[in-house]
A and B are shown apart, each in its own frame.
Chain A
Amino acid sequence: MTEGNGRVPTDIVKRAIKPSVPSSELMTPGHLACQGCAATLSMRYALKGLGSETVLVIPACCWTVLAGPAPRSAVGVPLLHAPFAAAAATACGVKAGLRARGDQTTQVVAWAGDGGTFDIGLQSLSGAAERNEDIIYVCYDNEAYMNTGIQRSGGTPAHAWTMTTPGSSGSDLPKKDLDAILRAHHIPYMATATVAYPEDMVRKFSKARQIKGFRFIHILSPCPPGWKTEPDQTVRLSRLAVQTGLFMVYEVEQGKMRLSVPVPKRKPVGEYLAGQGRFKNFTPADVEAVQKSVDESWARLADEKA
């Protein structure tokens, strides 16, 4: 182990600041994620909140690869790799199998990307949510099929460039409102989170593990190669997505929605869109359209509250 600059300072003998998230690590270094990957940060925070009494079920997604090939694993909890369309069902089965062994407490967590959630896994997800199965379902949403090399998914924002939405206008379809679909299942707990707010994410996972029934956590997960951004921008973009109001960080308990990260004064969406290669063809009109849709969704939220 090498220190950043090799010099040991003498003036900071005792650290005054305590870690704001648990210091235990269940995700190991050495994983195969790209530089600046938010999916690894998400897993790191999730496991801090969940603890070691957790079983992960991972369908085809970036985590299939980055957890490492056999006989190694980048997580210190049991992991079952599952077919693309079947994360939720496989997780329900694991829960049943554990129950059959008399284990009522271990948390079973389906951990899927946006493709495995918005698209191919939606039927299985909806079934498990509707039956209020006792699992936690996590979607780390990097807004396209990144593991297969950046193809459009139902989670891809309008006009974003992907390999299957080439050309100057990108995808002409809006991002599917998955959260609304999940809310319509009236599950005991759902939340959104993103990596710029680790304390919030860890808290939501710790809270989710205390709740019985179906729990859903939607994570916005910036992807440097897929978004065509520099790896060091990951946390900044995650923060900007929240500060511009594009991604609302909230939780819904027993149908009641509460913002976890209030945004009293929203930054213009242009700050988030600029610098992302996937939006580089955006015209001022495109930016305006995004701004309009963000303003509208916040206005709707205000109406709901009123």
Chain B
Amino acid sequence: METAMPELSRDPLQFPETIVSDRSMAENLTGNWRSLRPVIDAARCTGCLICWKFCPEACVKLTDKVPLIDLAYCKGCGICVRECPPKAMSQQGEAGL
């Protein structure tokens, strides 16, 4: 039996006692959950930061200019689009991009 399962023949005292989290979930890219992509119309953006403030993914980055949406994480919830005061944002289907 043990030859069929080599891991079991290891000294079990080499296995960890506990498993703690010391790495970041930022390693987990969630951009592929997205079906709708938020797009900012720079001409209409007033830099009000509402999109940054209301992002549940914390993936809108502050810049001196138009905010940057980190598409590696954006799940496409659309809150930023819905809340944008000057209506400078829209959603585009990922399939068409």
Whether B21 lies near A79 (C-beta < 8 A) is yes
Question: CB of B10 within 8 A of chain A?
Answer: no
Whether B56 lies near A4 (C-beta < 8 A) is no
Closest to A66 in B: B25
Question: CB of A268 within 8 A of chain B?
Answer: no
Closest to A70 in B: B19
Whether B25 lies near A38 (C-beta < 8 A) is no
Question: CB of A16 within 8 A of chain B?
Answer: yes
Partner of A7 from B25, B42, B63 at Cβ < 8 Å: B42
A291 smallest CB distance to B (angstroms): 26
Whether A235 lies near B47 (C-beta < 8 A) is no
Question: CB of B7 within 8 A of chain A?
Answer: no
Interface bracket on B: 35 or more
Give 15 CB contacts A-B under 8 Å: A1-B61, A5-B40, A8-B66, A12-B64, A15-B62, A30-B25, A36-B79, A37-B56, A40-B57, A67-B25, A70-B20, A71-B23, A72-B24, A232-B77, A235-B82
Query: Whole-angstrom distance between the alpha carbons of A36 and B82 in the complex?
Result: 11
Whether B54 lies near A71 (C-beta < 8 A) is no
Residues 72 to 121 of chain A near chain B (Cβ within 8 Å) = 72-74, 76, 79
Given A230-B78, A232-B81, residue A13 in contact with residue B65 (CB < 8 A): yes
Chain B positions within 8 Å of A, measured between CB atoms, are: 19-30, 33, 38-43, 45-49, 52-54, 56-59, 61-73, 75-79, 81-83, 89
Query: Whole-angstrom distance between the alpha carbons of A74 and B30 in the complex?
Result: 13
Which of A4, A40, A236 has the most B CB atoms < 10 Å from its CB? A4
* Chain A 230-255 interface 0/1 with B at a Cβ cutoff of 8 Å (1 = within): 11111110000000000000000000
Query: Whole-angstrom distance between the alpha carbons of A7 and B45 in the complex?
Result: 12
Residues 211 to 232 of chain A near chain B (Cβ within 8 Å) = 224, 230-232
Query: Whole-angstrom distance between the alpha carbons of A211 and B27 in the complex?
Result: 36
Which residues of A lie under 8 Å from residue B33 when comparing CB positions?
35
Partner of B53 from A14, A19, A40 at Cβ < 8 Å: A19
Whether B56 lies near A3 (C-beta < 8 A) is no
Segment of A21-29, A256-264, A272-280 engaged in the interface with chain B:
A21-29
